[in-house]
Amino acid sequence: MLRRVIEADQLPDYAMELGETTDRSPAVQFRRRGEAEALALAEKMRVEEERRARFDADRRRTEEVDARMDQLA
């Protein structure tokens, strides 16, 4: 019965997900609609920031190597 209610997911402001409590009994988690999208956006922004940091580190290292090669030439 609980699973069917969760699958229907007809609450206007909340999304329902099946979960478990710490003692492994079934539970329903209610999340405000839009929260999942906000969490996904935050994760996407974090990944993009990490990518930019790696790119900047690569660029700095490239400049360092180029400068050393110029000194040797």
Helices (H), 1-73: 2-8, 35-72
- What are the residue boundaries of the structural domains of the chain, listed by start? 1-33, 44-73
Q: What is the pTM of this model?
A: 0.49
Distance CA 45, CA 51 (A): 10
Is residue 16 packed enough to be buried (19+ CB in 10 Å), middle (13-18) or exposed (0-12)? middle
**Predicted local distance difference test score (pLDDT) of residue 49:** 96
Chunked mean pLDDT (size 10), the chain, 73 residues: 74 81 86 79 93 97 95 87
**Predicted local distance difference test score (pLDDT) of residue 56:** 97
Return the bridge partners of 18, or none: 28
**Predicted local distance difference test score (pLDDT) of residue 40:** 82
**Predicted local distance difference test score (pLDDT) of residue 19:** 84
Structure tokens at 16: 């329902």
